């Protein structure tokens, strides 16, 4: 690992749903917080934790997604998204699902990357896309610009196909979940370099940050660690962001960030829930489990997964699947 190496933007991620060039006119401020996660790795959870730490209260004046709109997503014109961030006077926390090789790198901001076992992320995304309403596609069509046509439709509903485009190939997507997993993990671990967001999501996203883990302005968090000890991980994040929280206030913030509390407040916390893009807002926070893949994948799928993942560094794989607590130091 080159301790002096810094990230560079190497390409653009663009499809029907997202466009990483929407970052081109973003103007960073000192100590901005950029939350960069693969889908279904704890993005909204991390946004909530940042909001709690920044405001030091669980009573917000706006919906969570109003504070921290997703820059890459085409549902809102980029000029409006940038205007929202420009108007904010508090410390900003900004959402993206773009890997580091598609982002501008700023030395004066703080990056948070959140990992999750890719097998769990895959099954969480299946619930996610099934919970997406047709209104999601309609919003994108209004602002899509280039690539304004959705991907080719299969036997799923229109909304499911449109949203799935963020994370997996849809033109020939098999209907069996185990076959879908095999197709997905092959695309995830493809050898060729590609900036196609339909073929890279979890593994590539996290690996794009991994080689820069030496940088002091990149913090690695993990879904499993947050589930195991949320208070410890929130304190770790507060220390990284250099945010001091009074001792009598901190337990209340931790309680507000608990999974069940977020699920109960889904109308305010699920991204853009007021726009009707979810069939059920509470279902956005589905199970939040660890190891849910274990009773869904068979010997064939797990053998393929193990074979394809052999190409990655053993330390990276250990963190990817188990989190920081499995590591000596990250």
- Cβ atoms within 10 A of the Cβ of 217, count? 16
CA-based nearest residue to 52, from 220, 244, 256: 256
Give the whole-angstrom CA distance, residue 214 versus residue 217. 9
Q: Write a three-state SS string for the chain.
A: CCCCCCCCCCCCCECCCEEHHHHCCCCCCCCCEEEECCCCCCHHHHHHHHHHHHHCCCCCCCCHHHHCCECCECCCCHHHHHHHHHHCCCCCEEEECCCHHHCCCCCCCEEEEEECCHHHHHHHHHHHHHCECHHHHHHHHHHCCCCCCCCCCCCCCHHHHHHHCCCCCCCCCCCCHHHHHHHHHHHHCCCCCCCCCCCCCHHHHHHHHHCCCCCCCEEEEEHHHHHHCHHHHHHHHHHHHCCCCCCCCHHHHHHHCCHHHHHHCHHHHCCCHHHCCECCCHHHCCCCCCCHHHHCCCHHHHHHHHHHHCCCCHHHHHHHHHCHHHCCCC
Q: Is 204 a catalytic residue?
A: no
Catalytic residue, from 97, 128, 163, 204: name it: 97
Give the whole-angstrom CA distance, residue 284 versus residue 190. 29
Q: Are 200 and 99 in contact (CB under 8 A)?
A: yes
Q: Are 222 and 316 in contact (CB under 8 A)?
A: no
Which residues participate in catalysis according to the annotation? 97
């Amino acid at each position: 690992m080159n301790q002096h190496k810094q990230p560079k933007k190497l390409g653009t991620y663009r499809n029907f749903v997202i466009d990483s060039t929407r970052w081109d006119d973003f103007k960073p401020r000192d100590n901005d917080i950029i939350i960069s996660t693969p889908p279904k790795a704890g993005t909204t959870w991390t946004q909530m934790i940042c909001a709690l730490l920044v405001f030091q209260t669980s009573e917000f004046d706006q919906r969570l997604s109003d504070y921290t709109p997703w820059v890459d997503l085409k549902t809102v014109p980029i000029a409006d998204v940038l205007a929202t961030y420009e108007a904010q006077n508090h410390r900003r926390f900004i959402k993206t699902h773009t890997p580091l090789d598609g982002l501008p790198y700023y030395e004066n901001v703080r990056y948070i990357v959140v990992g999750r076992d890719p097998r769990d992320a895959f099954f969480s995304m299946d619930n996610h896309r099934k919970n997406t309403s047709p209104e999601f596609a309609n919003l994108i069509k209004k602002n899509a610009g280039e690539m304004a046509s959705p991907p080719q439709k299969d036997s799923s509903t229109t909304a499911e196909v449109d949203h799935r485009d963020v994370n997996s190939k849809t033109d020939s997507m098999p209907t069996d979940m185990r076959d879908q997993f095999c197709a997905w993990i092959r695309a995830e671990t493809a050898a060729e370099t590609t900036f196609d967001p339909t073929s890279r999501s979890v593994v590539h996203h996290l690996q794009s940050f991994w080689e820069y883990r030496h940088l002091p302005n990149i913090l690695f968090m993990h879904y499993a660690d947050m589930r195991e000890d949320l208070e410890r991980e929130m304190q770790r994040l507060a220390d990284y962001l250099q945010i001091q929280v009074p001792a009598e206030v901190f337990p209340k913030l931790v309680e507000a960030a608990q999974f069940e509390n977020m699920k109960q407040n889904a109308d305010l916390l699920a991204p853009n829930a007021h726009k009707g893009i979810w069939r059920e807002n509470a279902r956005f926070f589905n199970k939040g489990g660890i190891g849910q893949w274990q009773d869904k994948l068979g010997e064939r799928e797990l053998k393929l997964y193990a074979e394809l993942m052999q190409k990655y560094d053993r330390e990276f794989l250990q963190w990817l699947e188990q989190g920081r607590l499995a590591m000596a130091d990250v």
